[in-house]
Chain A
């Protein structure tokens, strides 16, 4: 079973219903299915190893996503906003790829490559021409989607989602054909974001027409929502803020009364903003979703009734839930744990761990799942007494040196590029001058390169504030039995040696 089944079911159950509206053209489920089967034939014929999209959102995204599944290749939508050098590095990692979108840019960045590149319109036309709509859904069980996470200094990680992860998320969260015939979901998140992929799949499975806004702009969003009578929308907090700002006092704004449901996620929602939104759209259902790329999108959500209850309540505890991300999905197990892996009681902050069939926790290079199939999200948070989840930032132990926030990860990533360094950890240690200074503990797999070489490596790759003031060599780094690095123990090693 692969994710092409989701579109196949929609096309079988409602072939003539419109599933997608983009740039003024409507696509029925049967037309989308036919194009996806044709895309699969073209992709297979190309002999490529990946299917990439280097483009804004359009009909090409679902056609390529399902086409790649049918061709049993990973679909890798790329961030077209990346700088040339970063994009060029990603293009190298997926070669040879069947790339849809910006032909000129690929030719400029990878002139000697074996990529096959197609402009959007050419790809869609070829896919429609090669359609074999009578074929069955695919049986692939491998990688459905490969998404590059945004790397800061080290190379981005290639997160992979298997067909089973995505399908399990959709089956667990969406009821087939649940949408009314006149429902329409306005999608404005970029196609290279997990929400852009989950949004395509869940709306197709719900038989809810997708209205695509290729690139977000508040005025265009408002106009398209009014014109297409959108009933549902997904936004990130900054989008909602800009929409509300553009609506102004609402006196001459287009009619948005069709909007019944707004979901938001992907960042911290300021309390003032959601309160303002609830007042501005009193008849709209608001849903806050929390999820990660590695978890196939949503793992916890705060539903419309909970929003209203929190908004109206006089009880500060209930009111506070407006700033929570709600409760875990029924198909997800979620725990808050301390550094030793112990489960923490309500009210105590720690790292958020999740487990479930939709959780991949897997990268091209390695799996981040630990014992028992749990995924440490690296997000920090706590649960209240009734199980509402509150986020409190990344669990990374940030080092604050002279007011500058330094992520240990960026230093560790660079250290690990050294051939003699097997493992390492960077932590903050007390410093009279800086408040905290950087110290690193390393385990070697070769001859000690010498402190000077290590410091030079960090200085050249990062900057001088990241250069460790102390370097300690150990046999092995301290891990708990769940396989998680114990930074507290690392600090103790530094303090006692």
Chain B
């Protein structure tokens, strides 16, 4: 995985952009590893079915990985099996 790369959920419509990429590990959505090109959609694991939200950023607890949701879907994101958290965005005042 490398920053700037796009990944798709294998089981829902979710697409993410890797903002910060970890050294190694598996990023999954809806319980299935995310892929570069989606084939036939599999089933969403009910344990990872909270959905992703457009334009939101998600990170792992250690902060080694950060993704931006560029297409929302029904599955939810996890890194090596642990659910990703919605990144708490401190809004900056608009400067442009």
A residues whose Cβ falls under 8 Å from a Cβ of B = 1, 5, 8-9, 12-13, 137, 141, 164, 171, 173-178, 185, 195, 198-199, 201-203, 206, 208, 232, 234, 261, 263, 265, 285, 287, 289, 297-298, 301, 303-304, 329-330
Contact = CB atoms under 8 A, between A and B. Distances in A.
Contacts of B19: 171
19 contacts: A5-B17, A5-B70, A141-B4, A171-B57, A171-B68, A174-B94, A175-B91, A176-B54, A201-B96, A208-B94, A234-B96, A261-B93, A263-B93, A289-B95, A298-B95, A301-B92, A301-B93, A301-B95, A330-B90
Contacts of A304: 93
A467 to B, nearest CB: 43
Given A13-B54, A177-B55, A1 B17 contact: yes
A117 B57 CA distance: 41
Where chain A touches its partner, the secondary structure class is mixed
B94 A9 contact: no
Interface residues of B, number: 20
Q: Which 9 A-B pairs have the closest CB atoms?
A: A176-B55, A289-B95, A199-B96, A287-B93, A202-B96, A303-B93, A198-B96, A298-B95, A263-B95
Contacts of B56: 176
A220 to B, nearest CB: 20
Nearest to B57: A171
Contacts of B68: 171, 176
Contact of A12 (B17, B54, B92): B54
Contacts of B62: none
B55 A175 contact: yes
Contacts of A199: 96
Contacts of B6: 1
A195 B95 CA distance: 9
Interface in B30-56: 54-56
A133 B21 CA distance: 30
B96 A9 contact: no
A25 to B, nearest CB: 22
Nearest to A261: B94
B17 A263 contact: no
Interface string B65-96: 00010110000000000000000011111111
Contacts of B93: 261, 263, 285, 287, 301, 303-304
> Which of B4, B55, B57, B68 gathers the greatest number of chain A CB atoms within 10 Å?
B55
Contacts of A298: 95-96
A195 B96 contact: yes
A232 B55 contact: no
